[in-house]
Structures are given as structure tokens and as C-alpha cells.
């Protein structure tokens, strides 16, 4: 028996088909072009002969590597694995393999990973690292690379994107706290060079106005990153003596977890002394004590939709740009409860502090469903 690796021609001969037919049958993207019977014969022949496709030869023939570059800001964040799983599953059905690069929010590292992936001729990029003024976006646009933004948006660039409706989600968190009697609500905003930080801050401010509450600038602090350490630091800053806060809306769950550390440091009980709501509903967040109330969105679907948008762009570079927002859902758990009577002692009827109220407006406390493609 020969030690020579089986070739596509060997498989075609064993299956009694032309090599081009065998190639189509073994390629997930073209398998539908041959009959089920032919595909079965070719697949069985390939397995029997131990045939393994040569990716280099295929890329030279098709000018595609069937690899996708995915840049993630922080693989330690439990939010990303289910998103990437959805992305990988959808791409795998079309014969693509994902190359993942972790950037840790470092621009130099992001540049190195991006350049290395381009050198390997990936067929497209999914970027979950994009900042509002990221030089890579301008470079990718100039080179006309297939790019989709995931959990990010970037105005001024013709890239499709998929993310959650951040404004609606943060708005709902504020509305829930207001319905529980909280009026002194602080916000830990995400980094303002990232679209999620900007839009969630906007949603917080809109929610405060809709509830008739004053959004004092002294009750907003800005995290330099979405990390537990920054959540702890910002929690201390928000809860400085005399702040009078009874609730905090954090721009993501990692920041909210950091708040738990600040509460412990300051001898505060959650939710009795201070309530907190996060954003993302990352895995295992319900295991905290108390379980964290948060804003949920479908992580796996976010990944599959990003893959779908990228496949459209690869197959048809002239396909229209699509911006997709997934609808959020407020998940109520134990970290936010009705304001204790002692916290509003001396106020008529247990009402909110008048100093924290603004003139009521006509914005309802219930917004519409999430935005869709446009």
C-alpha cells in the first residue's frame, strides 16, 4: 500500500465522478450543487481513503482561505465565549474557521494581531474591539476589507454591525429603580471612546429624565475599562461620604461585580443599603450573593447574526450595509429591591427627595421594542 496521501483525483476516481464534482461535494459552500447520492459517495470515498483537503491549494484556486479573523477585547470577560460560539457555529456551516485574537484593549497589540491576520489572508474580520476613532477602521475601509462590527458601532464607516439596543436597556434599568422608589441613582459609565459606553450613558440620562429625576454630574463616574477593578474604584468614588446614593446603574456586569467589592469595603449591604443593576447578564452572574439584576440580550444570537452579516459581505461586496440592534430584556434579581422606609424618612408619604426631582415630562416609562435593521 502506498504511503502517498490521497488526492482529490483519487477520491473522484473512487466515487466515479469528475474531480470538479468531488470538489463541490466536499466543500460545504457548494455541496448543494450536487445530488445527495453523489455527495454521499464522494464523502464515503474521502473517508475511506483518508483524504484531507489541502487548504493552501484551495486558497490558491479560490482566492479564499476560508478563515475569519475575530478580534476580542478581553477573553477573561465571560460575556464573549457564548457570542464567539454563535459566530463559530454559523461560520462552520459554510466551511469557515475562526482565528481569535485577544487584544486586552491595547492598541499596539490590536494592530499586531490585525496585521498578522491580514498577512494570513483571512477572508474577513469581525471586530468586537472597535473604538470610535480606531485607525484600523479607516484602514479597513480604504482597503475595502469585509468587516462586521460585533457589540460595537462606529458612525462614519460603512460597516455592517450587530449590537444590543444599549440605550433602551439602560433606560429600562433606571425606570425599574425609579419604580422601586429610588431617586438618588448613580451611574458608572463605560469608556467614552467605546460605543457601548456612550450609548449606555445616553440611555441612563434619558431614563432619568423620563422618570422626572435629576441626573447630577457628581453622580456619574467614568470607568477607563470594563473591569472588576474599575468597578471597585468607581464604586468608591460614587459612594464618597455625603453622596446619599441609594442605587447604582453600572454600564456592564464586570463593573457591577466590582461594586460588590466596594460595598464590602465600605460596610454597605446590598440591596438593603444600596441597590445595583448591571448590563449583559454574563454567565454565572446569577450566582452572586445577592444575584445581580441586569440587562440581558441574546449572546449566542449576537454571534450568529454577526456571522450572517459577514457572509453576506464576503459573497456580495456590494450588499447593503445593515445595522442590527437586538432587543434587551431587564432581568430582575436580588440586587435591587424597593427602597427601605428608613431611607425616605421625613418625606411626605415616603416620596422621593424633592431635590432629586425635575419637572415631569411626557415621556412614558415604557419604551418600544428594540430597533431593527435599517
Does residue 351 share a domain with residue 236? Answer: yes
Residue 360, pLDDT score: 36
Tell whether 370 is covered by a domain. Answer: no
pTM: 0.79
- Distance, in Å, from the CA atom of 278 to the CA atom of 328, rounded to the nearest integer, reads 13
Does residue 216 share a domain with residue 147? Answer: no
Does residue 31 share a domain with residue 154? Answer: no
Burial class (CB in 10 A: 0-12, 13-18, 19+), 127: buried
Residue 355, pLDDT score: 57
Residue 82, pLDDT score: 96
Tell whether 118 is covered by a domain. Answer: yes
Tell whether 364 is covered by a domain. Answer: no
Residue 343, pLDDT score: 56
Cβ–Cβ < 8 Å for 182, 248: no
Residue 23, pLDDT score: 86
Does residue 255 share a domain with residue 108? Answer: no
Residue 133, pLDDT score: 83
CATH code at 153?
A: 3.40.50.2300
Average pLDDT per run of 10 along the chain, which is 374 residues long?
77 92 84 90 91 62 79 92 97 94 92 94 94 88 94 90 98 98 97 96 98 93 96 97 95 98 97 97 94 98 98 93 96 94 46 51 37 44
Residue 3, pLDDT score: 66
Does residue 339 share a domain with residue 221? Answer: yes
Q: Residue 138: which domain range?
A: 62-164+299-326
Burial class (CB in 10 A: 0-12, 13-18, 19+), 295: buried
Give all strands (DSSP E) within the chain, no chain letters. 67-72, 97-102, 124-127, 147-150, 160-164, 185-189, 220-222, 247-250, 275-277, 294-296, 323-326, 329-331
Alpha-carbon torsion, ordered 71, 75, 80, 83, to 10 deg: 50
Does residue 106 share a domain with residue 170? Answer: no
Tell whether 363 is covered by a domain. Answer: no
Query: Which residues share a beta bridge with 248?
Result: 186, 276
Does residue 99 share a domain with residue 77? Answer: yes
Number of domains present in the structure of the chain: 3
Does residue 218 share a domain with residue 136? Answer: no
Does residue 336 share a domain with residue 234? Answer: yes
Does residue 241 share a domain with residue 158? Answer: no
Tell whether 372 is covered by a domain. Answer: no
Does residue 128 share a domain with residue 79? Answer: yes
Residue 60, pLDDT score: 46
- Distance, in Å, from the CA atom of 280 to the CA atom of 270, rounded to the nearest integer, reads 20
Residue 28, pLDDT score: 76
- Distance, in Å, from the CA atom of 171 to the CA atom of 38, rounded to the nearest integer, reads 55
- Distance, in Å, from the CA atom of 168 to the CA atom of 206, rounded to the nearest integer, reads 9
Instruction: Give 3-60 pLDDT, tens digit per residue.
Output: 678 888 999 999 999 988 988 888 877 888 889 999 999 999 999 988 887 655 555 4
Amino acid at each position: 500500500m502506498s504511503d502517498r496521501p490521497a488526492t482529490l483525483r483519487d477520491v473522484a476516481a473512487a466515487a466515479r465522478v469528475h474531480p470538479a464534482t468531488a470538489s463541490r461535494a466536499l466543500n460545504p459552500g457548494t455541496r448543494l450543487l450536487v445530488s445527495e447520492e453523489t455527495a454521499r459517495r464522494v464523502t464515503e470515498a474521502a473517508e475511506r481513503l483518508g483524504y484531507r483537503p489541502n487548504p493552501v491549494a484551495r486558497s490558491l484556486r479560490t482566492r479564499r482561505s476560508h478563515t475569519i479573523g475575530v478580534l476580542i477585547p478581553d477573553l477573561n470577560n465571560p460575556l464573549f465565549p457564548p457570542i464567539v460560539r454563535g459566530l463559530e457555529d454559523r461560520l462552520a456551516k459554510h466551511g469557515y474557521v475562526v482565528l481569535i485574537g485577544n487584544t486586552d484593549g491595547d492598541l499596539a497589540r490590536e494592530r499586531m494581531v490585525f496585521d498578522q491576520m491580514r498577512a494570513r489572508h483571512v477572508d474577513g474580520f469581525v471586530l468586537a474591539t472597535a473604538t470610535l476613532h480606531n485607525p484600523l477602521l479607516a484602514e479597513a475601509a480604504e482597503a475595502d476589507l469585509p468587516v462586521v462590527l460585533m457589540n460595537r458601532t462606529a458612525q462614519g464607516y460603512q460597516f455592517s454591525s450587530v449590537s444590543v439596543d444599549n440605550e433602551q436597556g439602560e433606560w429600562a434599568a433606571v425606570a425599574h429603580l425609579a419604580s422601586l422608589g429610588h431617586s438618588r441613582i448613580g451611574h458608572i459609565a463605560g469608556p467614552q471612546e467605546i460605543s457601548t459606553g456612550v450609548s449606555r450613558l445616553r440611555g441612563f440620562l434619558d431614563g432619568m429624565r423620563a422618570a422626572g429625576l435629576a441626573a447630577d454630574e457628581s453622580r456619574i463616574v467614568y470607568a477607563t475599562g470594563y473591569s472588576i477593578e474599575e468597578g471597585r474604584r468607581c464604586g468608591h468614588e460614587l459612594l464618597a461620604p455625603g453622596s446619599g446614593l441609594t442605587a447604582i446603574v453600572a454600564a456592564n456586569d464586570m463593573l457591577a461585580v466590582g461594586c460588590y467589592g466596594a460595598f464590602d469595603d465600605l460596610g454597605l449591604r446590598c440591596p438593603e443599603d444600596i441597590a445595583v443593576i448591571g448590563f449583559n447578564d454574563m454567565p454565572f452572574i446569577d450566582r452572586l450573593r445577592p444575584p445581580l439584576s441586569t440587562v440581558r440580550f441574546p449572546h449566542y444570537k449576537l454571534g450568529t447574526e454577526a456571522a450572517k452579516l459577514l457572509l453576506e459581505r464576503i459573497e456580495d461586496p456590494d450588499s447593503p450595509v445593515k445595522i442590527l440592534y437586538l432587543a434587551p430584556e431587564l432581568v430582575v434579581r436580588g440586587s435591587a429591591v424597593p427602597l427601605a422606609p428608613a431611607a425616605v424618612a421625613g418625606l411626605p408619604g415616603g416620596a422621593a427627595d424633592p431635590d432629586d426631582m425635575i419637572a415631569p415630562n411626557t415621556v412614558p416609562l415604557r419604551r418600544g421594542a428594540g430597533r431593527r435593521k435599517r
